[in-house]
Amino acid sequence: MENSKVEDLLSKINTLLDEAGTKINAADNLQILEALRVEYLGRKSQLIDILKGIKDAEPSQKAKLGQRSNLAKSQIENKIQEKIKQIKEKELKAIELQEEIDISIPPSGIKKGHKHLITTTIEEVEDIFMRMGFEVHYPYAIDDDYHNFESLNIPPGHPARDSWDTFWTEQGKIAITHTSSMQNRILSQQKPPVRAIVIGRCFRNEATDARHEHTFTQVEGVYVDKGITLPDMLGTLKEFFSKYYKKDLAVKFTPDFFPFVEPGGMMSLSCILCNGEGCKVCKQTGWLELLGCGMIHPKVLEMAGIDPKTYSGFAWGFGLERLIMLKNNINDIRLFNSGDLDFIKQF
């Protein structure tokens, strides 16, 4: 075979190699690659034709062309394999991207809840008192004897302690029986005028029924300044209740005993259901007895470092659930913590 023919064939192999390389690079799926494999490496491919055509070549020419075309074959095969790998990787990535879980996406199909009636009422009560110049405090759920009792003029052994069925911890601490537990801290930490409310959960170790719960919410209030009198207290509470019940209400003070106030008493509200006319809820009296209150006992002021000769003040404490029950016609206090969704969803 003429040497120039051999050269022609060699350059043809190079051209085929280039051509195949370009097409393989451009291929974007496995079917195209398979077609290219058939075209360039199959039995009817041009490379095979070339090999068939060198039967009459001299052994050295045969060897040269054979080696060159075999090399071209394996180069094309490698390129195809490489490309297959690339395409598969790309496909996998696309799948991964599709299946990737984005944990920041809000869940769909789950119904949003809403704030509990007690929470929204706490916010409402805070709002009313803050507009009246009171600051808001929260109690410690577990407190000590001094803050829950002693600083409120209830020394150890005092019979008044029996009024509060108390949960004690093994270390002698108390699950607070009332939010009055913050009075001493508030009064000793700031100079009068002091206007503050304390809202939080209280605990009583007593049997439960429609009116009593072991865990409930109390709103304590204190107001200390020069020249504060009982009418200031009645005016303040009348204002609060009229805002909360959205109607003008009358208030009444009936003497009663609490160790931390003198005089102490119960405050009643003209019945919000019958407007004082007399109904089942107010037992035909026209009044609802709602809270304990009074003028802060001089001893309590003294224990907080306030001179009772210069300053006076009032304090009150009411149960939040009772207020809500009257407003929303709820007849069992145990419903609040029952987890009964039918009840909760109504508000």
Is position 178 annotated as part of the catalytic site? yes
Q: How far is the CB of 261 from ligand DAH (least distance, A)?
A: 4
Task: Spell out where 271-334 has E strands.
Answer: 287-296, 312-319
Give yes or no for a contact between 315 and 183, defined as CB atoms under 8 angstroms apart: yes
Q: Which of 134, 220, 313, 320 binds ligand DAH (CB under 6 A)?
A: 220
Which segment (31-39, 83-91, 255-263, 330-338) binds ligand DAH by CB under 6 A?
Answer: 255-263
Q: Stretches 48-56, 242-250, 274-282, 309-317: which one binds ligand DAH (CB under 6 A)?
A: 309-317
Using CB under 6 A, which of 80, 154, 174, 261 touches ligand DAH?
261
Instruction: Kindly state whether residue 292 participates in binding ligand DAH, applying the rule CB under 6 A.
Output: yes
Residue 253 near ligand DAH by CB under 6 A: no
Mask for 145-164, x = binds ligand DAH (CB under 6 A): --------------------
- Please, what sign has the CA dihedral across residues 163, 167, 172, 173? negative
Across-strand partners of 251? 269
Catalytic residue among 6, 61, 194, 218: 218
Q: Which residues pair with 201 in a beta bridge?
A: 217
Please choose, from the candidates 261, 255, 125, 117, the residue with its C-alpha nearest in 3D space to the C-alpha of residue 199: 125
Q: Using the minimum distance from each CB to ligand DAH, give the nearer residue, 80 or 261.
A: 261
Q: For residues 139 and 260, what is the distance between their CA atoms, to the nearest angstrom?
A: 18
| Tokens representing residue 280 in the block | 């089942």
Residue 105 CB neighbour total at 10 angstroms: 7
Tell the residue number behind the tokens 């192999």, with chain if given: 13
The verdict on whether 300 is a catalytic residue reads: no
Closer residue to ligand DAH (CB): 200 or 317: 317
Active site residue 147: no
Which two tokens mark 128?
A: 């009313």
Which residues are designated catalytic? 164, 178, 204, 218, 261, 315
